[in-house]
Amino acid sequence: MKNRPLVRHVAAFAVAFALLPVARADLVVKDDTGQEVRLKGPAKRIITLAPHAAETLYAAGAGDKLVGTVEYSDYPAEAKKVPRVGGYSRVDLEAVAALKPDLVLAWESGNNLTQVDKLKALGLTVYVSQPNTMANIAYQLEQMGRLAGTEAGAKLAAERFRKRLEGLRASYANKPKVRVFYQIWKAPLMTVGGPQIISDAIKLCGGDNVFGHLAHMAPTVSVEAVLEADPEVIIATGMGDARPEWLHDWDKWTRMTAVKRGNLFHINPDIMQRHTPRILDGAEKLCADLDVARSRRPAK
């Protein structure tokens, strides 16, 4: 009985401790540059500095947290209503700061990194993304889900993406290789290098990027280099879903295999050149085009 006051004291302390607010651990992730990104909790006000980042944020179930984005962020339709903070290559820093975001999603190879550093200097939390492979898209979905507190929905979206991706991979794993020239633009004549996600999509379809040995994301090449590479297929994009007129500039090079066999194809850049789940739509179109090219090979 002598210990009863001590027992009461310990019990009272335990009750008081239980009533204290629970300290929440910071949310900590690493971005694609290896930098640590720390938040006090899931972001509630997010700005994206690239169209693909806005689209992926919606796909991760966090579109309602998007308070600012850049020009050409037009998918899904809701993204068109979000305030603009400039373009992806030149951001309006004052407009970003005025929206008081607790998270900014930047694009390593597309944004002006000096401006990204200035945003960090202003005290803003910045996550830099750079998905260079198809598999990275699923990872980006999961990362955005973590950052925005929509992990369950983002995980489901990532799982759907991976399942569809693996289906394509299995379908084309043993297809004969097709030499591909992917043309982004006419003047200057631009293509995709090895590190670019489109090179990964070409590989997925059983293709071989004729400029895959180049280290730049979007290298400029010469007509002579294309002729020397002699691709079996030319895939071109433009400014939208319309077939670019300059695709047929290649028709005069009648000795090139792609021209001889009529393998000049077009893919809407929105489903091929944006690092979003819709890239699988572009990949399916690309794979189908390569199958057409295979069917046009002379019989042995």
**Secondary structure (H, E, C), 251-287:** HHCCCCHHHHCCCEEECCHHHCCCCCCCHHHHHHHHH
In the predicted model, is pLDDT for residue 135 greater than 60? yes
pLDDT at 240: 73
Residue labelled with tokens 């030499």: 179
pLDDT at 242: 79
In the predicted model, is pLDDT for residue 20 greater than 60? no
Please give the DSSP secondary-structure letter assigned to residue 102: S
Q: What Rg, from alpha-carbon coordinates, does the chain have?
A: 25
- The pTM of the full predicted model, rounded to 2 decimals, is 0.88
pLDDT at 51: 96
In the predicted model, is pLDDT for residue 161 greater than 90? yes
- pLDDT confidence band for 19 (50 / 70 / 90): low
Q: pLDDT tens, 192-205? A: 999 999 999 999 99
* Residue range of the domain that includes 85: 27-158
Omega into 298 within 30° of 0, i.e. cis?
A: no
Q: What's the N-to-C CA distance of the chain in angstroms?
A: 101
pLDDT > 90 in the chain, percent = 86
Task: Indicate whether 181 and 270 sit together in one domain.
Answer: yes
What is the count of structural domains for the chain?
Answer: 2
Q: Would residue 35 count as lying in a domain? A: yes
Q: Would residue 207 count as lying in a domain? A: yes
Task: Indicate whether 215 and 266 sit together in one domain.
Answer: yes
- Segment (H or E) for 154: helix 151-172
Q: Would residue 16 count as lying in a domain? A: no
In the predicted model, is pLDDT for residue 180 greater than 50? yes
Task: Indicate whether 196 and 254 sit together in one domain.
Answer: yes
- Segment (H or E) for 139: helix 134-148
Task: Indicate whether 115 and 235 sit together in one domain.
Answer: no
Task: Indicate whether 251 and 131 sit together in one domain.
Answer: no
pLDDT at 17: 46
Domain with 102 in it: what CATH number?
3.40.50.1980
Distance between CA atoms of residues 89 and 71, nearest Å:
10
Q: Would residue 286 count as lying in a domain? A: yes
| Tokens matching residue 292 | 């057409």
- pLDDT confidence band for 82 (50 / 70 / 90): very high
In the predicted model, is pLDDT for residue 282 greater than 70? yes
- pLDDT confidence band for 23 (50 / 70 / 90): very low
For residues 24 and 142, the model is more confident at: 142
Q: Would residue 300 count as lying in a domain? A: no
In the predicted model, is pLDDT for residue 28 greater than 60? yes
Task: Indicate whether 44 and 153 sit together in one domain.
Answer: yes
Q: Would residue 214 count as lying in a domain? A: yes
Q: Would residue 12 count as lying in a domain? A: no
Q: Would residue 6 count as lying in a domain? A: no
Q: β-strand 264-266 against 233-236: which pairing, if any? A: parallel
